[in-house]
Chain A
Amino acid sequence: MIELIHVTKRFGDVVAVDDVSLSVGKGELCVLVGTSGCGKSTTLRMINRLIEHSDGEIHLDGQPVREFREEVLRRRIGYAIQSTGLFPHWTVERNIGLVPRLLKWPASRVRERVEELMALLDLSMGEFAGKYPSQLSGGQAQRVGVARALAADPEILLMDEPFGALDPITRESLQDELARLQARLHKTIVFVTHDMDEALRLADRLVVMHQGRIVQQGHPIELLREPADEFVESLLGGEDRGLKEAALLPVSERMTPLGPRLVAKERVAQHATLREALSIMLWRHVERLAVVDDDDIPIGELSLRRLVGARGHESPGP
């Protein structure tokens, strides 16, 4: 649990973070989003005291961060950054084992933990353990970066645009991976990004920052439906907001139970998003889809009327 209480950061006369209050609950993935220079990275870095806050208080599980010794605090918090910050003179194995070694774990336990993490992040031990960071692709390096951040099993993870430098395909696969990891590990994560799609995909709580202040925070759907002002609206994609919301809702939310006879030929999986369903309709020129379960067995129907959320009675098909 992380709490920021009226936190302000000044660099000389410039106010970088202005009276920010934020509470991130245990197991919550909180995404700070905003244009560059809005203070989101500064906010993140104040939590592990890479930057000291000027005013206000930051609490970690109820204890002010200033009461910790810097190193002790940071070893309790995982930290991953855009450029990975991997040590170029250390092998992958040594890089991942860094924090456990700082915590003086016995060598055998460090090695076990590294093996465990590499398996968790789909990095083959035999192939990658002895490699140097310069021999890795961007995506592999970032996986190692995340593994290193998770090494000492911290409850809290700070991630500063970790996927910002990757190509779109690698970025998406790592976002999926993070979502998968989070579903298993339930870490408390503060994640900074300027990529709104990434933010919407990952966030349990979305925090929009502008000029050092928090403009709006809440669940992504809340923000999409009721943006606080024009800035949030434009950041959320303006006219595209409908599609972005559709991308967050599963088909199962709008489908109707299976009628006496199935009329739709085209199919969509129940876990697919409404956006994907809409895309299939556009592509196939149909207004109805059969919703199928994991075994490809029809369990319901989705009509265009239902998809767009129109209320009222369904007129049966022709």
Chain B
Amino acid sequence: MRREAIRPNSALVSLLLATLVVWLGLDTVSVSPNRIVPGQGVDVLGVAGWGGVAASIAPILIVLGLAWRPTPVRLRWATGLVVLMLSALPVWLVVAAALTVDPDMPQARMGIGGGVWVALFLLLLALIELRTRLALSRVLGWALLLVPLASLAACLALGLEPLALRQEYQGRSAAFVSAIGEHLMLVGVAVSLSLMLGIGLAMAMRHWPRAQRMGFAILNFLQTIPSLALFGLLLAPLAWLSGRFEWLAALGVSGIGWAPALLALVGYSLLPMVRNTYVALDGVDPDVIDAARGMGMSRGQVFRQVRLPLALPVILEGIRITTVQAIGLTAVAALIGAGGLGTFIFQGLGQAAMDLVLLGALPILVMALVADALLGALTDLLRPGGAT
């Protein structure tokens, strides 16, 4: 009876089958004699021979087997194995570098192939599925990821010199750190400004319903302007302003640089911020507000003690969306000299050096994921007693 009740976990099975296919089917690394020449793709068989293939697919097959009859105990084992595989990926890169890159050629470098990227992505999805099935806490889920991260750090410290990404970083470590700082600063200031403006606008719209349609129309329109065009449009007026008012120029405002970038970022951030804040404030149960007024709370008390706290989770949702969006958009701002991680992306594009593009893009991805997770956790924390 019990045996029949246990069905294969189809999500896990398909994720692992897909991992198997891409691991064996796609190039696992690419090797090039120097920075300019396009890399030559190598698959797992080419790197490590049949022995390597067998050793690397063994854990995938075991997890497949465990997922076929997924009892809680087996799922725990599967979780362990998936974490192990994730941690093995950096080690695999060390092995691949040792086997494929000629140590006598100092310019030779190794890029990470599609097989590794896609396998990483699929295994992370499998981990999320396992976390859900086993009902592990969010914190434990993140803690599990520390193991692969530690493995990556260790591998970077001990070897992996030929890794192209690392080589790109080595020459720019100072620039890299300051780019991350600029990026975070731009995002932080833009999100804070749009939060303050957004709450003000949303409250104004609630107060004057006529302003509401107009306000949303303008914000929607702003959102439709392509980011590059908006940066371009801001160039002339800001240059004129800074030429006209010395104190603006002294502040560092000019047609290019941080000023137009910040303005554009705030412009784009306003719509999600205002929309969420408006919906949040408007969506509070009218009966609760009625009771609050009926009990004798003043307008200010109703707003501060009832409406705002009840709206907060949805407002935070707006901050989350805005932050993630701003982290991505700030990359484009590098084009008008605002700095940030986008600098590497555009340099890399100009030099046809994909690994330099990755050096800019990967931290942006990580930042977006971390911001998303942190703000999501904060939202959960602020929901009282599992209520609305």
* Interface residues of A, Cβ cutoff 8 Å to B: 48, 50, 70-76, 79, 81-91, 98-99, 102, 131-135, 148, 158
Rounded to whole angstroms, the CA-CA distance of A82 and B286 in the bound complex is: 12
- Decide if B387 touches A88 in the complex (CB within 8 Å): yes
Q: Footprint of A on B, CB under 8 Å?
A: 285, 287-288, 290-298, 301, 306, 309-310, 384-388
Asked if B291 and A79 sit within 8 Å, CB to CB, the answer is yes
Distance of A309 Cα from B291 Cα, bound (Å)? 47
User: How many contacting A-B pairs (Cβ < 8 A)?
Assistant: 80
B296 touches A99 (CB 8 A): yes
**With the chains together, A126 CA to B387 CA distance in Å?**
21
- 14 inter-chain pairs at a CB distance below 8 angstroms, sorted by A residue, are A48-B294, A50-B290, A74-B295, A75-B296, A81-B291, A84-B287, A89-B309, A91-B385, A98-B297, A99-B295, A102-B301, A132-B385, A134-B385, A148-B295
B4 smallest CB distance to A (angstroms): 38
- A-B residue pairs, 3 tightest by C-beta: A85-B291, A132-B385, A74-B296
Shortest distance between the CB of A215 and any CB in chain B (Å): 27
Report how far A83 CA is from B284 CA in the complex, Å.
Answer: 14
Partner of A71, one of B285, B296, B306, B310: B296
Which chain B positions have C-beta within 8 A of A75? 295-296
Q: Chain B residues with Cβ under 8 A from A87's Cβ?
A: 288, 291-292, 306, 310
Q: A81-B290, A102-B301 are contacts. A132–B295 as well, Cβ < 8 Å?
A: no
B contact patch SS: helix
Contact present for A74 and B294 (CB under 8 Å): yes
Q: Report the minimal beta-carbon distance from B296 to chain A, rounded to whole angstroms.
A: 4
- What is the CB-to-nearest-CB distance from B313 to chain A, in angstroms, rounded to a whole number? 10
Assembly CA distance A48 to B295 (angstroms): 9
| CB closest chain-B residue, reference A103 | B296
**Complexed CA–CA distance, A91 and B387 (Å):** 11
B260 → chain A closest CB, angstroms: 41
Closest partner residue, chain B, to A48 (CB atom):
B294
Do B388 and A102 touch (CB < 8 A)?
A: no
Verify B384–A71 contact, CB threshold 8 A: no
Task: Report Cα–Cα, A85/B293, bound state, in Å.
Answer: 10
Q: Which residues of A contact B386 (CB under 8 A)?
A: 132, 134-135
Cross-chain contact A79 with B388 (CB below 8 angstroms): no
Closest chain A CB from B315 CB (angstroms): 14
| Distance between Cα atoms of A48 and B291 in the complex (Å) | 12
Q: Name the A residues within 8 Å of B293 (CB-CB).
A: 50, 74
Q: How far is the CB of A118 from chain B (nearest CB, A)?
A: 18
Q: Which residues of B contact A132 (CB under 8 A)?
A: 384-387
* CB nearest to A151 among chain B residues: B295
A134 touches B296 (CB 8 A): no
Nearest CB of chain A from residue B125's CB, rounded to whole Å: 33
Closest-CB distance, B215 to chain A (whole angstroms): 27
**Residues of chain B lying within 8 A (CB to CB) of residue A134:** 385-388
A83 touches B292 (CB 8 A): no
Q: Are B387 and A50 in contact (CB under 8 A)?
A: no
Bound complex: CA of A84 vs CA of B288, how far in Å?
Answer: 8
Q: How far is the CA of A74 from the CA of B291 in the complex (A)?
A: 11
A50 to B302, CA, bound (A): 14
CA distance A135 to B138 in the complex (A): 24
Interfacial chain A residues near B285, Cβ < 8 Å: 83, 85, 88
**Residues of chain A with a CB closer than 8 A to B288's CB:** 85-88
The complex places the Cα of A70 from the Cα of B292 at a distance, in Å, of 13
- On whether A89 and B296 interact (CB within 8 A), knowing A84-B291, A102-B301, the answer reads no
